Each structure stands twice: as structure tokens, then as C-alpha cells.
Structure 1
């Protein structure tokens, strides 16, 4: 026997009841699954990422969606799908933007919009209003600034002269190649060839997925003989990688090294690329 969930409501007059019934029939004719409209948006989003997005994206991206799910639950709480419109969503996005950068807010909004479009396509909401919601808020001043040429040379000379510390070789290699932290940590002995490195994998602190960020990230980078010989001297770890993961605290280690060398960190607390020391730093 099929269990059919019905929606009912009481009205003070027969006329109002008839109007409501007509509205329900019209919505049903448009293919709207009205029974699902009482689901909260937070519940819908969570179910959506585990049933739909889990098969569409990489593991690292999926974990990003999972983290966003917590954000959405805090923002929308018990608001049901049937109560959503562009004004409601815009207010919640603006609320989030008060304590987050415009970039972070935009990333969250993109996920919200994608889920709302899916909800509309499945008939859980009656209007495709996602396009009306905008990212607002201010971009905070950049916290990370490039080092001067003088400080860059000071750092490079120091790590080059103290290769006994594995971390110094890691920094040196980053400065020489511009490789990302995850790409550096993913180097194995078979990744090396004479005066070059095959970049094919990346290590993430939040996932076991070792694939590169994009297909275009697959490349070979050249290194000089001196740097090549320094890397070859580092013992390969039991897990097969050359560099220790170090609890993924390389940003803190770098900050300590800059302090030791009396190089101003310019409030660099989190660094995505070691190469950004000479370029423009971005958050990790």
C-alpha cells in the first residue's frame, strides 16, 4: 500500500478553503511536490549534498559542502522551504556577510543558489528566485603582503645555508618553484628526475584525496642542481613521501622562521603558498 502524505488546512470560510484548494491544484499541475515544502532548508541542503553532490564533486569539494551545511543550519535554523524567497535568503546572506569577507560570502551563496535551483527543479519550491540574491559586504584589507627583495634574499640565503633542517629545504623549494604546499608534501622519490619534479599529486589536511586542484595543475617544474641534490639527501619517510607533513603546521613554522630572521611578517598568519612570499600572499 502506498503511503501518501497529504497537506490539509482549516479555514474560517468555505470561500477561503476553496481558494486554497485551487492553489494547491494549480501547484500540483505544475509538478510541485508540496509535501516536501515543510522540510527546513537546512535539512534539504544536508540531504541534497549527501544524496546528490557526493557523486558530483571531488572529496575535498564535498567536505567544503559539508562545512557549508553547518553554516546554513546556523543561519536558516528552522525556516522551511515554503517560506523561502529572495528577501528571506538575501537577509540571511547579508547577516553572514557582516562577519565574513565578500569572497567567503560569495562562495557560500553559490552553494545556496545551486541547491535552490535543484529544489525548484524538483518541485520543492515554486519560484526560481536564486538569481535575485546578491553577494554584498566589503572586502577586508589584504593581510598578507609580499616581502621586499632584500628580505626575500635574506630568507633564501638562510634556508640555502641551513639545509640540515628539512623545513628549510621545503621553503627553498617553494621559493624556487612556486609549488603549493600540498604539492610539495606530495613529492616522492619517483617524482624527481634530474633537475626536475613531476607535479602529479597534492596532499590535503582535510581529505585523503591526493588529486591536483585542476587538470591544468599537472606539470613538470625545473630546479637547479644545488636544490636537486639537497632534496635527494632527505631520507624518504615510511609513508613514501620525502617531506614530513608536520601536522600541517608549516605556516606557523614559517612565521617563526621569519621572526627569527627579523623579517616582518606583515600579519601573515596563514599562507597558502610559500611562493607567495615574493608574490602576493593569499589565505590558506
Structure 2
């Protein structure tokens, strides 16, 4: 590498992606890093590492925040910070410029609720046809009951189920976009074991007992040995129609993952347990994603706390 004075931060960030991220994370996550690199080229194209300090970093964040909401700015900050931490450990900078960075952003646009209430989810699951063998309704149920991502659920095989422990191992995905078959999980932390409930064990187990152990359960294998292409729009449209017919909140398949976590949080399951179950990199990701639920739980905890304190005399 050239002398420290001659290294542009943008160049270092590009090289860092190639060295540490390519081949180590899922394509969808890698694309996010590439997008951050593009943003940095626009915001600080001439910033040398030797000139990098807290004020320069705050300027970068402030500039990005002018056109993005706070949550998006937070995501940008986490991606850039990962690189800067390596810069610090490589001794290219003497201090961490991300220390006490202030995250700003545009006021959030009011969005539709992206999850179902517990009663709505119950209504949806009760409407599923689970007596017709392996079908898309079973796919919806598994996502709702496990919190798996779409590509993760596509990638499960009979071998991934441990019926002695009643767990499902998530250790790969299915490349439904590129058509290359099994692929890596989104991140290393996405590899996990998920506890299963009695409905999955009692009803789903018999359906897959005689299927090829290492073949994807929900993807049809064609006569020529190739696999039928899957599109998330197909199951999303199916789910939206079900929700509309049931007169419940219309959500996408990914919203079932949010529903899964939100309901568990509301029922008192610890955020650390839920974070592991979802395969989040750390509990901070879970906290920011489900802040709306945590705020409601804090209000309930405040009421409980005051009730307890009133009893102390």
C-alpha cells in the first residue's frame, strides 16, 4: 500500500470490501457495501486517511443525512464504521473518528405497519391449507413460526431438521435471483438453530420423512435435473391476496419475520434470544429494528414498576 498520506479513504474502503467482504457475505449484503462505497465517492472523494478525524467523519454523516432518514443513515454509519475499525486496528489512524458520532436524518415518512397483530396472524394461519402436502401454505407457516428469511426457507432440506432436538438448522440459502442453487447465508451470524413448536414437529415431519435428505423441500426439480425458478413476488402476491380476503393488514412475506419477532417480544421473550433466533449480527440490530415494540413494552414496564413501588410503604 502507498504511503499513508497518499491513500484516499474511498480507495481504502474499496480495497477493504474486496479483501474482507467479497466471498464472505451474501450478495445482497455485499451490494449494500458497494452502494456505500459509491456514496462515499460522492461525499468525500478527496479525503485522505491522514486527514481523517472526528469532524471529517461527522461531516460525512451530516451530508448523507440530508437526503436520507435517520434509520438509513444509521445503517450507512454501521457499514462505514466496520471499515474504520479495521483502519484503527491496522494503525492507519490514531483515534476512532466514529466515536460519539451524532446520527441525523430526514423526518421519517409515515409508513404502513409492516407486521401483523397476534390476532391477525392467528387468523392467517388458521386459513392455511396444510392438508394438501408440501405447498406454499406450509412455506408461509414455517416463515411465520421460525422468523426465517425467504431465501433461508427456500434453502432448507429434510436433513436440516433434527427431530430428536426439535430444531431446524439454518446454514445456507437458495440463490433464487442468480439461479446458482445453494448459497451462503446473509452473514456468519445468520447460521443458527431454531427451536420448533409442536405443530411443525407433529404435522410437517411426516410430510418430509421420505423426501431426498439434501434436496430443497419447496423447490420443484424438473425432468432435466434443473430446478424450477422461484420468485418472491409469487408468494408475496399470494400472501397479499390471503390478507385481503381475510380483511387483515396486507403484508409481504418478509413482514411475517417482523411479526414473529414482534409477537415474541410482546410476550416477554428476551431480546437476546430473539436476536439469536433471527440470526442478527448483534442485539443492537434487533433493538433498532423493533424499537416500536420495545417502546410499548417500556410503557407497560413503567406501569408495573409504579404499581410495585406503590405497594412499598
TM-score tier, shorter chain, comes to: 0.5 to 0.7
**Separation in structure 1 between the aligned mates of residue 259 and residue 88 of structure 2, nearest angstrom:** 45
Match of 1:136 in 2: 104
Question: Structure 1 residues 41 and 253, CA, compared in 2 at 3 Å: closer, same or farther?
Answer: farther
Q: Residue 169 of structure 1: CA displacement?
A: 1.4
**Separation in structure 2 between the aligned mates of residue 35 and residue 233 of structure 1, nearest angstrom:** 61
Match of 1:4 in 2: none
Question: Structure 1 residues 116 and 228, CA, compared in 2 at 3 Å: closer, same or farther?
Answer: closer
**Separation in structure 1 between the aligned mates of residue 81 and residue 163 of structure 2, nearest angstrom:** 48
**Separation in structure 1 between the aligned mates of residue 117 and residue 77 of structure 2, nearest angstrom:** 37
Matches within 5 A, 1:270-281: 272=254, 274-277=256-259, 280=262
Match of 2:307 in 1: none
**Separation in structure 1 between the aligned mates of residue 119 and residue 101 of structure 2, nearest angstrom:** 47
Cα contact 1:185–1:202 (8 A) shared by 2: no
Q: Does 1:198 align with 2:171?
A: no
Match of 1:175 in 2: 144
Give unmatched runs, 5+ long, in structure 2. Answer: 220-228, 264-288, 291-313
Match of 1:263 in 2: 248
Give unmatched runs, 5+ long, in structure 1. Answer: 1-32
Question: Structure 1 residues 178 and 200, CA, compared in 2 at 3 Å: closer, same or farther?
Answer: closer
- Deviation digits for residues 142-179 of structure 1, max 9, x if unmatched? 64354344433331122136747822111122334444
Cα contact 1:180–1:273 (8 A) shared by 2: no
167-176 or 196-205, larger mean C-alpha shift: 196-205
Q: Does 1:76 align with 2:49?
A: no
Question: Structure 1 residues 273 and 186, CA, compared in 2 at 3 Å: closer, same or farther?
Answer: farther
Match of 2:231, SS state, is helix
Matches within 5 A, 1:219-230: 219-224=194-199, 227-228=203-204
**Separation in structure 2 between the aligned mates of residue 259 and residue 235 of structure 1, nearest angstrom:** 34
Query: TM-score, normalization: structure 2?
Result: 0.60
Please give the root-mean-square deviation of Cα atoms over the aligned residues, in Å: 4.1
Q: Residue 86 of structure 1: CA displacement?
A: 2.4
Q: Residue 50 of structure 1: CA displacement?
A: 1.9
Query: TM-score, normalization: structure 1?
Result: 0.64
Q: Residue 203 of structure 1: CA displacement?
A: 1.2
Match of 2:168, SS state, is strand
Question: Structure 1 residues 253 and 94, CA, compared in 2 at 3 Å: closer, same or farther?
Answer: farther
Question: Structure 1 residues 220 and 150, CA, compared in 2 at 3 Å: closer, same or farther?
Answer: closer
Q: Does 1:246 align with 2:216?
A: no
Task: Count matched residues.
Answer: 245
Q: Highest CA radius of gyration, 1 or 2?
A: 1
